[in-house]
């Protein structure tokens, strides 16, 4: 899988009464992972080094 350096997104508040944040999945990742509207993403984060993380996306169909 190719590395996408330079894809940046901005975090925004998900709502007034939550500490959750939202972001947009960059188009290059959407195309590379063949994602579509309705897919659900499960995020598994593994810390590699301080300031660097690996995100594995497990795609599942909307239930």
Higher pLDDT, 1 or 14: 14
Residue 40 falls inside a structural domain: yes
Q: What is the pLDDT of residues 9-47, one digit of tens each?
A: 888 999 999 999 988 888 988 898 888 888 887 777 777
Asked if the structure places residue 2 within a domain, the reply is no
To the question of pTM greater than 0.75 for the whole model, the response is: no
47-63 pLDDT, tens digit per residue, is: 777 777 777 777 666 55
Helix (H, G, I), strand (E, B) or coil at 19: coil
Higher pLDDT, 11 or 4: 11
Q: Give the range of the structural domain holding residue 30, as residue numbers without chain letter.
A: 12-60
Residue 1 belongs to some domain of the structure = no
Count of structural domains within the chain = 1
- DSSP-based three-state secondary structure for 44: strand
Is position 3 within any domain? no
What whole-number distance in Å separates Cα of residue 57 and Cα of residue 19? 22
CA torsion 44→10→2→49, rounded to 10°?
-50
Q: Rounded to a whole number, what is the distance in angstroms from the first to the last CA of the chain? A: 28
- Residue 4 belongs to some domain of the structure: no
């Amino acid at each position: 899988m190719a590395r996408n350096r330079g894809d940046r997104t901005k975090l925004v508040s998900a709502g007034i009464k939550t500490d959750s944040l939202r972001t947009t999945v960059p188009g290059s990742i959407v195309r590379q992972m063949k994602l579509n509207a309705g897919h659900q993403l499960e995020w598994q984060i593994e810390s590699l080094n301080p300031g660097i993380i690996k995100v594995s996306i497990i795609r599942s169909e909307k239930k």
